[in-house]
């Protein structure tokens, strides 16, 4: 889209690059002169505006890019995307520093030295694809296609790599979600078929008014938000929460933050509670018990429970009765009965009165939202328990899916991917020899997690156990291939950095370099596909340069309150010798086919997708695939409960829309890339609330949520209409058929998955688990972690973001060093020389260790001291101290990706590697949550000494 003066008016002051425009003093809106207008008009020539999205962090905000002459010039928020409503943050401003970084991977490379040495040679794409395809074919013939795992990484445009992996014949394909916050999501998944519960603060909404017309209100109804272990002002996965929280407060909402550290979000809260780390479930359990014991429907100040919700819940009584059975049990750590406020006060360190008041306020305040976070409970071994109780609290108080309440954003997202992801390939029939017999099954029956002996219920897959799988292989214990064992030989890592982010750093390094008795690497092929050279790339056998996110096309849909789907369009052409995912997929598929691999079929790859636009159009064929349910109905002219597919405008007009009553399907014009480019790059469908009930009565609609019963489920293995159902039912059937208890469940003494409420303790917490009490004196500090304004480990070469301090974990404490300063590098030229810059001492933010200042004083530490933290396993890491009163005593906090960075490709932060801490050096590599195999990032204790 070409820029004209009308489009330009809203941002004219910021666009006069190099021009001088005189404004009348005291009035920035003064009428400009004809000469000034001419300067502005001249400055607009040659610009092209592209609606796309950001991927500097997982929020993926909608952006408006201005490109000129093939270069990225200006970046603004896209006003039509409600996720960020025209705003953008410092990360978006730093996009050019990533795109034009001299540290980018510019061409394919093949390893020449040992893994970890960083020795590579430049090769052509033909050489790289030939090398890779031949190795894949050889290993496939020797070990089977299942010996390969594809990790598709941390951005949402991963579908091409799923298709490639499934087409090759492996069922082992995963993404970053496996190491993100799996325990946090567990409760919503069990109970709602969802993932992330967030407050109703995305604005504007697109919703029908009383007259049936679509409106875009900005009003906020929320009266109370409780953020537990969630820090949206920094961890901006859901960007609208940071501005929405502030705006809700201005409308009268109270905000409570529960976090051992005084986070950025806590600074804007009405109340900050600082519990003992890892006691989220304890607090939630006490809140639930208090509400159940003190609810009184006849008293306005005790009407905590919305008993009308019971008709939408399956297993209400079963859950509550099992929960109450724990009230009679005594906790061995303190001798008190479970979930009493006295018990919770002892374990959390929060005053009992405050716990009672929190429970009372949440029960009595409508509408409200209880939200829990990635750090906690999401990174704790027993985080499932808190996640389950938190979901139940939102349901029984009547706050689920009401205006101003709590919304499960996963259940309302627009569907994307359709058949492009090729999950149907996993149904392909194949044979394997098992215990001397030929057995037939489907490809998916060889999946390392779902049918393996460790974590069959890992619906988000497991990445943290890959080091063990490299060493020990995979044992299939469930399904038709029971007894089959296979080696783990090929690992594809795309836009991820598992060495630094997927459990213990040192354990990953050892596994990737471990050799057999013949001196060969046990993992025989390590492939990295990325734009930037991160630590994991040091261990690759081959590296393929992928186009950056502004050089390729995909779709974004990050956790909205209602269906929103926007295009992440190509802004500039791929730089250097990088290629787009669709091109990489087709190149490798063609070569595999040419080498005789007939699992690869031309009609599934290059014949079907000539380019990335073809691929994205295929992804859109089932979008948004939302239900026409709730109040108000999104589309009252169509039948309630039917599935909706099509563009918002076609559905609204009704022109060309078909209604299939047999399939209960409403279908308008299909979304396409062309449609997006004509419509500001975004599709927004109408919002509705109360999606679990009929629009004209209080009865359940049996269309939502996304559970087996289409009811809110408090039981997860049950019989109904002669059929066994529930989220855990299928896994229990596998266990019963196999008579083998998964290894993870054996750790906590379970023999099968529970039907309803359950409880177990976390690891490495001496305050709640008696198994670790013996360590409390020698290792008195709990370690928690968090984020800074970066995308985990992938954007630290953007030096602009090191000018921003973050809480106590990202501060200018560097020693003087020289490195490239990418500011001002706007256009890569062949042979371009970028001069080094001297970063003077204490001018560049680095990862710091946040400690309570009283603890520091007692130990003789001062601000900036270099200290070593050591855990009971003997692992250690070093970093500089930041001392303040903003963190609970005996707790220290470190952020992911901010320290111990040992790849030169990360830029300036590499120079600080010897005095910045890597929290994952301390992670117990064997502490993985028992159902899902998620690393217990936040469960560790340390002793601290000055270096």
Q: Using pLDDT thresholds of 50, 70 and 90, give the confidence band for residue 823.
A: low
pLDDT tens-digit profile of 159-174? 999 999 999 999 999 9
How far CA 299 is from CA of 303, 305, 495, in Å, comes to 6, 11, 55
pLDDT tens-digit profile of 715-748? 999 999 899 999 999 999 999 999 999 999 999 9
At residue 43, the pLDDT reads 83
**Residue closest to 156 by CA, chosen among 567, 586, 648, 499:** 567
Q: DSSP of 140-203, one letter per residue?
A: HHHH-GGGEEEE--SSS--HHHHHHHHHHT---EE-GGGGT-HHHHHHHHHHHS---EEES--S
Q: Using pLDDT thresholds of 50, 70 and 90, give the confidence band for residue 41.
A: confident
Q: DSSP of 684-724, one letter per residue?
A: E----B-TTB-SSSSSB-SS-SSSSSSSEES-SSEEETTEE
Q: Using pLDDT thresholds of 50, 70 and 90, give the confidence band for residue 39.
A: confident
At residue 19, the pLDDT reads 36
pLDDT tens-digit profile of 652-690? 999 999 999 999 999 999 999 999 999 999 999 999 999
pLDDT tens-digit profile of 374-432? 889 999 999 999 999 999 999 999 999 999 999 999 999 999 999 999 999 999 999 99
Mean pLDDT of 279-291: 98
Q: What tokens were used for 337?
A: 């009965």
SS3 sequence, 345-405? Answer: HHHHCCCHHHHHHHHHHHHHCCCEEEEEECCCECCCCCHHHHHHHHHHHHHHCCCECCCCC
Evaluate if residue 826 carries a pLDDT over 70: no
At residue 799, the pLDDT reads 87
Rounded to an integer, what distance in angstroms lies between the CA atom of residue 578 and that of residue 594? 23
- Which residue has tokens 């047999």? 662
At residue 894, the pLDDT reads 97
At residue 8, the pLDDT reads 36
At residue 156, the pLDDT reads 72
Mean pLDDT of 75-85: 96
Mean pLDDT of 241-255: 96
At residue 825, the pLDDT reads 47
Mean pLDDT of 844-852: 97
Rounded to an integer, what distance in angstroms lies between the CA atom of residue 18 and that of residue 776? 62
Q: Phi first, then psi: what are they for 248, rounded to 5°?
A: -65, -40
Mean pLDDT of 622-633: 98
Mean pLDDT of 773-792: 93
> Domain 772-946 carries which CATH code?
2.40.40.20
Q: Phi first, then psi: what are they for 266, rounded to 5°?
A: -60, -30
Q: Does domain 193-408 have CATH number 3.40.228.10?
A: yes
Beta strands 836-839 and 866-870 are unpaired
| Among the ranges given (31-40, 508-517, 907-916), the one the predictor scored with the smallest mean pLDDT | 31-40
Helix, coil or strand: residue 48: strand
At residue 375, the pLDDT reads 85
Q: Using pLDDT thresholds of 50, 70 and 90, give the confidence band for residue 4.
A: very low
At residue 670, the pLDDT reads 98
* Average pLDDT score over the chain: 94
Evaluate if residue 365 carries a pLDDT over 60: yes
E strands present in 521-649: 525-530, 542-545, 554-556, 564-568, 624-627, 643-645
Cβ proximity of 573 and 551 under 8 Å? yes
Query: Where are the domain boundaries for CATH 2.40.40.20 in the chain?
Result: 772-946
Evaluate if residue 111 carries a pLDDT over 80: yes
| Among the ranges given (162-176, 227-241, 889-903), the one the predictor scored with the smallest mean pLDDT | 227-241
Q: DSSP of 66-130, one letter per residue?
A: EEETTEEEEEEE-TT-TTTTT---HHHHTHHHHHT-TTB--S-EEE-S-TTS--EEE--HHHHHH
Q: Phi first, then psi: what are they for 936, rounded to 5°?
A: -85, 70
Mean pLDDT of 754-771: 97
Q: What is the CA radius of gyration of the chain?
A: 27
At residue 21, the pLDDT reads 39
At residue 29, the pLDDT reads 58
What DSSP state is assigned to residue 46? T
Query: Where are the domain boundaries for CATH 3.40.228.10 in the chain?
Result: 193-408
pTM equals: 0.95
């Amino acid at each position: 889209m070409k820029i004209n003066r009308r489009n330009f008016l809203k941002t004219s002051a910021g666009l006069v690059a190099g021009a001088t425009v005189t404004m009348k003093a005291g009035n920035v809106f003064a009428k400009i002169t004809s000469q000034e207008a001419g300067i502005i008009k001249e400055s607009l020539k040659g610009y092209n505006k592209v609606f796309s999205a950001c991927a500097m962090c997982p929020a993926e905000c909608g952006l408006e890019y201005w490109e000129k002459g093939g270069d990225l010039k200006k970046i603004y928020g896209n006003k039509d995307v409600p996720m960020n409503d025209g705003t953008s943050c410092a990360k978006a401003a730093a996009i050019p520093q990533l795109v034009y970084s001299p540290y980018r991977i510019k061409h394919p490379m093949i390893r020449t030295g040992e893994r970890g040495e960083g020795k590579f040679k430049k090769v052509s794409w033909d050489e790289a694809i030939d090398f890779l395809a031949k190795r894949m074919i050889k290993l496939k013939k020797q070990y089977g296609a299942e010996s390969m795992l594809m990790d598709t990484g941390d951005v949402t445009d991963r579908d091409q790599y799923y298709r490639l992996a499934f087409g090759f014949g492996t069922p082992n394909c995963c993404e970053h979600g496996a190491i993100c916050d799996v325990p946090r999501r567990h409760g919503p998944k069990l109970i709602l078929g969802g993932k992330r519960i967030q407050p109703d603060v995305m604005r504007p909404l697109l919703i029908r008014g009383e007259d049936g017309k679509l409106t875009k209100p900005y009003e906020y109804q929320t009266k109370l938000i409780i953020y537990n272990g969630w820090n949206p002002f920094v961890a901006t996965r859901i960007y609208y929460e940071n501005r929405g929280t502030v705006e809700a407060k201005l409308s009268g909402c109270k905000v409570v933050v529960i976090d051992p550290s005084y986070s950025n979000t806590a600074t804007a809260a009405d109340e900050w509670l600082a519990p003992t780390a890892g006691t989220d479930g304890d607090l939630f359990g006490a809140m639930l018990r208090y509400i159940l014991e003190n609810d009184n429907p006849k008293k306005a100040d005790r009407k905590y429970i919305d008993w009308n919700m019971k008709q939408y819940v399956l297993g209400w009584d079963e859950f509550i009765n099992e929960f109450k059975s724990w009230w009679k049990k005594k906790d061995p750590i303190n001798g008190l009965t479970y979930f009493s406020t006295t018990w919770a006060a002892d374990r959390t360190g929060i005053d009992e009165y405050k716990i009672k008041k929190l429970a009372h306020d949440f029960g009595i305040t409508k509408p409200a939202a209880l939200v829990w976070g990635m750090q906690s409970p999401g990174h704790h071994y027993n985080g499932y328990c808190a996640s389950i109780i938190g979901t139940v609290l939102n349901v029984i108080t009547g706050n689920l899916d009401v205006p101003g309440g709590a919304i499960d954003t996963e259940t309302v997202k627009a569907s994307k991917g359709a058949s492009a992801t090729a999950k149907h390939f996993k149904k392909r029939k194949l044979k394997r020899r098992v215990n001397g017999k030929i057995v037939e099954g489907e490809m998916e029956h060889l999946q390392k997690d779902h049918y393996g002996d460790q974590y069959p219920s890992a619906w988000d897959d497991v990445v943290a156990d890959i080091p063990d799988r490299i060493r020990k292989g995979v044992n299939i214990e469930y399904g038709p291939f029971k007894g089959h064992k296979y080696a783990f030989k090929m690992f594809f890592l795309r836009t991820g950095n598992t060495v630094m982010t997927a459990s213990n750093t040192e354990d990953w390094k050892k596994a990737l370099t471990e050799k057999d008795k013949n001196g060969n690497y046990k993992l025989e092929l390590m492939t990295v596909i990325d734009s930037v050279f991160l630590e994991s790339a040091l261990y690759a056998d081959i590296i393929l340069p992928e186009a950056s996110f502004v050089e390729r096309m995909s779709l974004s849909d990050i956790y909205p309150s209602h269906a929103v789907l926007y295009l992440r369009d190509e802004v500039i052409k791929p730089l250097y010798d990088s290629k787009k995912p669709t091109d990489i997929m087709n190149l490798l598929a063609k070569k595999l086919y040419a080498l005789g691999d007939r699992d690869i079929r031309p009609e599934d790859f290059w014949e079907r997708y000539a380019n990335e636009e073809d691929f994205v159009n295929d992804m859109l064929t089932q979008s948004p695939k939302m239900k026409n349910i709730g109040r108000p109905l999104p589309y009252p002219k169509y039948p309630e409960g039917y599935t909706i597919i099509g563009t918002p405008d076609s559905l609204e007009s009704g022109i060309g829309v078909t209604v299939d009553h047999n399939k209960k399907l409403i279908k308008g014009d299909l979304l396409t890339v062309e449609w997006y480019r004509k419509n500001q790059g975004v599709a927004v469908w109408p919002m509705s609330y109360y999606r679990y009930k009929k629009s004209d009565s209080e009865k359940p609609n049996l269309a939502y949520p996304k559970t087996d019963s289409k009811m809110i489920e408090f039981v997860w293995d049950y019989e109904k209409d002669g059929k066994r159902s529930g989220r855990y039912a299928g896994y229990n059937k596998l266990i019963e058929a196999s008579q083998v208890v998964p290894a993870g469940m054996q750790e906590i003494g379970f023999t099968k998955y529970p039907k309803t409420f359950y409880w177990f303790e976390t690891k490495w917490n001496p305050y709640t688990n008696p198994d670790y009490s013996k360590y409390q004196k020698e290792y008195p500090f709990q370690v928690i972690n968090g984020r800074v304004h970066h995308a985990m480990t992938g954007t630290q070469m953007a030096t602009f973001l090191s000018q921003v301090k973050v809480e106590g974990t990202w501060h200018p404490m560097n020693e003087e060093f020289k490195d490239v300063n990418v500011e001002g590098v706007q256009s890569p030229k062949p042979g371009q020389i970028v001069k080094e810059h001297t970063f003077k001492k204490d001018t560049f933010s680095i990862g710091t260790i946040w400690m309570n200042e009283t603890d520091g004083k007692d130990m003789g530490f001062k601000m900036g001291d270099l200290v070593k933290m050591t855990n009971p396993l003997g692992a250690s890491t070093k970093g500089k101290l930041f001392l303040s009163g903003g963190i609970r005593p005996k707790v220290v906090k470190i952020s992911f990706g901010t320290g111990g960075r040992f790849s030169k490709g990360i830029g300036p932060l590499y120079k600080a590697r010897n005095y910045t801490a890597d929290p994952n050096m301390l992670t117990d590599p064997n502490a993985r949550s028992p159902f899902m195999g998620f690393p217990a990032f936040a469960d560790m204790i340390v002793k601290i000494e000055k270096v």
